[in-house]
Structure 1
């Protein structure tokens, strides 16, 4: 049974169990092209409202990225603290790049990139 859908080429991670309401982090998929052949990349947060009968997800946060994502993980690290009340999102990106984002800053529309590591060899999957 279909509950919701997202018409994008993305890698996703569910929000931690502590997160209410439930959300989905979606990073533009590496090594994929959409119908427009766009090379843009972004990390987006979507709210999943199960009371809404439509298949649509509500975009609640977005930030462009210089790198596309092979893997996205939403960690409860620091969840509930003043620094990161919604946890952190880690992206394993093309070119061996690892990016760490603040979920709360992403939701607030602020620059959410907390750290970036460029020293990994090969794609991070």
Structure 2
């Protein structure tokens, strides 16, 4: 049953589960060109009302952006950090990483640029510390940002010898110091932030890109993982999965 729809060549993100009413944001995709060949983009906010029988979304606001988006993610905060209305983080194709306070940004029209360091193609907030944001950039560089002090980003200890963009990035949902990322040639790396080094590397035999990552947190041992690879692959439907093995991260 179709509840609502929106036709946009855009990257998108839902509001955090704790926020009501439900809303969604779309950013003009960096991989799309219109007939004008413009490189400018927009960030649009929509409210979702599942009680409304109409398929249309309620348009809440739009912000012009100087460039287009690789990635959008969202996070809510209840401790006064950047206020409690929530934050949208966007990685842009001009090399900027931008945080948007939805309420203030749409009312003021300002673009608060956090940092510029090549291009940020992978983003994820820490599930344990909401003020930590990980971003992946060109040349397989990973940056950890603390939202209360955005002037300096922490980088991973030893840079991987890869000259590719980070296509996907994901924090482990059970082990707070474990981070994974993938590049367009199909290599997936699991990084231990405490040891400051990679602990697992997996490569696709056919060099297929890995656009998304997900930790299968219910599977905690390698033997259990090996018993159910087909089942897990089919469940995700993406052809890519990453198992969180406890013995690899302790």
Verify same fold: TM over 0.5: yes
- TM range, normalised to the smaller chain? 0.7 to 0.9
Q: Corresponding residue for 1:118?
A: 116
Between Structure 1 and Structure 2, whose CA radius of gyration is higher? 2
Cα offset, 1:38, TM superposition: 5.7
Q: Under a length normalisation based on structure 2, what TM-score does the superposition of the two structures give?
A: 0.44
Once the two structures are superposed, residues 75-124 of structure 1 have per-residue CA deviations (whole angstroms, 9 ceiling, x without a partner) of 11x346384221111001113221111112135x22353333222x2452
Q: Corresponding residue for 1:98?
A: 97
In 1, the alpha carbon distance for the partners of 2:115 and 2:45 equals: 22
Q: Corresponding residue for 2:58?
A: 58
The count of corresponding residues between Structure 1 and Structure 2 is 121
Consecutive aligned runs of 4 or more in structure 1 exceeding 4 Å deviation: none
Q: Corresponding residue for 1:24?
A: 24
Structure 1 unaligned segments of length 5 or more: list them: none
Q: Corresponding residue for 1:81?
A: 80
Is the CA contact 1:84–1:103 (under 8 Å) kept in the aligned structure 2?
no
Instruction: Establish whether residue 2 from structure 1 lines up as the match of residue 37 from structure 2.
Output: no
In structure 2, relative to structure 1, the CA distance for the partners of 1:79 and 1:115 (3 Å cut) is farther
Q: Which has the higher relative contact order, 1 or 2, with Cα contacts under 8 A spaced 6 or more apart? A: 1
Q: Under a length normalisation based on structure 1, what TM-score does the superposition of the two structures give?
A: 0.83
In structure 2, relative to structure 1, the CA distance for the partners of 1:87 and 1:106 (3 Å cut) is same
